[in-house]
Structure 1
Amino acid sequence: MENNLLLSKFWMRIWALLIDSLILGLFGFILGLIFKNFFISFGESAKLIGWIISLFYFTILNSKLYKGGTLGKKVMKIQVTDIKGNFIDVKTSFIRSLVFTAPFFLNGFKIPGVSSFSFVTIIQGIIIFTIGLGIIVFYIFNKETRQSIHDIVAKTYVVQDFRNKEIGFMPKIRKLPFYITGAILLVTIGVSIYSLSSTSKISKLVPVYEDILKQENITNAAVNMNYIPITDDAGNKRFVYTVTVYVNKDLEITQNNINEQAKNPELLETVKTFINSNAYDTDNDILNVVVVSGYDIGIAKQYKSFNFYKPISEWKRIFGKSL
Structure 2
Amino acid sequence: MLASPDWLSSLSRRIGALVIDAAVLVSVGFVLGLVFESYFVELSVWARAIGFVIALLHFGILNSELNNGQTIGKRLLAIRVVNLHNESVKLDVSLLRSLILITPFFVQGSGLPSALLPTLWIYPLSLILFGGLVSTAYLMLFNRRTRQGPHDWICRTFVVNLESDPNRPEPIWLGHSVVVGFILVLALSLPAAVLQSNIAQPQPDLDRSAELLMRLDTISRVQMTRVDAGRGDGDAENRFTSVQVMLTENRVNDADLAAAIAERLLQENDRVRTQGPLMINLTYGYDIGIFSRWDSRMHRFNVAED
TM superposition score normalised by structure 2: 0.85
Matches of 2:195 and 2:286, distance apart in 1: 30
Partner of 1:276: 268
Matches of 2:120 and 2:263, distance apart in 1: 30
Matches of 1:160 and 1:111, distance apart in 2: 39
Structure 1 residues 17 and 99: CA distance shift in structure 2, 3 A = same
Matches of 2:107 and 2:59, distance apart in 1: 17
**Amino acid across the alignment from 1:276:** E
Gaps of 5+ in 2: none
1:53-202 matches, cutoff 5 A = 53-109=54-110, 115-129=115-129, 130-164=131-165, 168-198=167-197, 200=198
Gaps of 5+ in 1: 318-323
Any idea what the Cα deviations from partners look like across 1:248-267, whole Å, max 9, x if unmatched?
x13144xxxx3xx12217x6
Q: Contact conserved, 1:226 with 1:241, CA < 8 A, in 2?
A: yes
Any idea what the Cα deviations from partners look like across 1:35-68, whole Å, max 9, x if unmatched?
1111111110000000111111111100011100
Matches of 1:189 and 1:210, distance apart in 2: 31
Matches of 1:277 and 1:11, distance apart in 2: 54
Matches of 1:238 and 1:46, distance apart in 2: 35
Q: CA RMSD in A?
A: 3.0
Worse-superposed segment, 294-303 or 238-247: 238-247
1:39-50 matches, cutoff 5 A = 39-50=40-51
Matches of 1:72 and 1:127, distance apart in 2: 29
Q: Contact conserved, 2:118 with 2:200, CA < 8 A, in 1?
A: no
Matches of 1:175 and 1:83, distance apart in 2: 19
Partner of 2:240: 240
**Amino acid across the alignment from 2:206:** V
Any idea what the Cα deviations from partners look like across 1:105-139, whole Å, max 9, x if unmatched?
12253679x94334243124212211122212111
Matches of 1:146 and 1:221, distance apart in 2: 43
Q: Contact conserved, 2:281 with 2:298, CA < 8 A, in 1?
A: yes
Q: Contact conserved, 1:223 with 1:243, CA < 8 A, in 2?
A: yes
Shift of 1:236: 5.9
Matches of 2:263 and 2:59, distance apart in 1: 44
Identity %: 25
Structure 1 residues 168 and 116: CA distance shift in structure 2, 3 A = closer
TM superposition score normalised by structure 1: 0.81
Matches of 2:190 and 2:270, distance apart in 1: 28
Structure 1 residues 94 and 281: CA distance shift in structure 2, 3 A = same
Partner of 1:308: 299
Partner of 2:11: 10
Partner of 1:264: 257
Structure 1 residues 281 and 52: CA distance shift in structure 2, 3 A = same
SS at match of 1:312: coil
Shift of 1:275: 6.5
